[in-house]
Amino acid sequence: QIKEQFRRNTQKPADDDVAERIFMISEERIMLTYHCKDSYITASKKEFIKQKEEDNKGNKIIMTSDMCISYQVGSFQKNKKLLHLYEMMLKLMDAEKHLRHQVWESETEVLEILKIREEEAATNKLTVSMYDTERNEKSKQHRETMERLMQEERQRQVEQDLDYLAPFLIQMGSTEKMTKWQALRLKEDCLTDFKHRLIEKANFIQARFEKETQELQKKQQWYQQNQLSMTLEDEDAYLTYCSDAMFRIHILEIRLNRHKEMAPQKYMELDEKLCKDPRLAEYLKF
């Protein structure tokens, strides 16, 4: 059933001012309760019993007195004519159709909201603490990157401790009677090789940086073209990819800038070491 309640409209007599309207859909009845008149404790009521518009033979059914049961409080006026009651019942039936449609729309909206909530609940992801580096992917990735940078720094220290002249001395053969020209050539070959390795490393980092940037741009273009048809899972995956890609690009940019800053200094340090190396020092004096 559908129940409606209304406030008192003082512009109408209490007997004509509906206080409560109940549509008993399954029972095919409509019940009206009016507001109480002053000095009365009961209210007037009407009950309409709906009938089909036509009988089994196709004849139109006319309003009869048994289709409306009325109770009029404190009034000895004659009941309203059947035509008036019939018109009232038709209006009530139209109102019932409108209300049933509103109820259907409300139910549809509620079902849609519940469906959306179920989908959101199914795709919810627990937030992992940033301090839980084993389960937090970003923290884990950051930790692994820092460990890799530290490993590279340790490798650089190891390279500094290596004999940088050894490969070139082997190529030269005997160094017992080295001339000044040979010492200068040895130094230049060593510096040239070191310079090439610095350039190769810079090119390698630059290539990775450009590749990551291009892939991110392609992904962003793909998102612009497909964002209207994407699911929530697709959008979450896209945002995760962008976050990870930007993090990698940022790390590569830091490494590249650091390499460019340190390369001249490393080159000068090697030049100074070569000049002080006991195997070359006596030949490089001016």
Once rounded to an integer, what is the mean pLDDT over residues 109-123? 81
Say whether pLDDT at 206 is over 90: yes
Say whether pLDDT at 286 is over 60: no
Confidence of residue 175 (pLDDT cuts 50, 70, 90): low
Confidence of residue 144 (pLDDT cuts 50, 70, 90): confident
Please state, in angstroms and rounded to a whole number, the distance separating the CA atoms of residues 138 and 129.
10
Residue with tokens 């159709």: 97
Confirm if 184 and 163 have CB atoms less than 8 A apart.
no
Which of the two residues, 161 and 44, has the higher pLDDT score?
44
Confirm if 187 and 168 have CB atoms less than 8 A apart.
no
The pLDDT of residue 149 is: 74
Q: Taking all residues of the chain, what is their mean pLDDT, rounded to a whole number?
A: 81
pTM over 0.85: no
**pLDDT tens across 228-258, in order?**
888 888 888 899 999 989 998 998 999 899 9
Once rounded to an integer, what is the mean pLDDT over residues 52-74? 71
Written in H, E and C, the secondary structure of 200-214 is HHHHHHHHHHHHHHH
Which of the two residues, 158 and 10, has the higher pLDDT score?
10
**pLDDT tens across 187-196, in order?**
898 899 999 9
Confirm if 101 and 123 have CB atoms less than 8 A apart.
no
Confidence of residue 216 (pLDDT cuts 50, 70, 90): very high
Confirm if 74 and 37 have CB atoms less than 8 A apart.
yes
Say whether pLDDT at 64 is over 80: no
Task: Give first-to-last CA distance, the chain, whole Å.
Answer: 111
List, in order, residues 6 or more apart from 254 with CB less than 8 Å away.
Answer: none
Confirm if 37 and 16 have CB atoms less than 8 A apart.
no
Please state, in angstroms and rounded to a whole number, the distance separating the CA atoms of residues 283 and 277.
10
Please state, in angstroms and rounded to a whole number, the distance separating the CA atoms of residues 108 and 278.
90
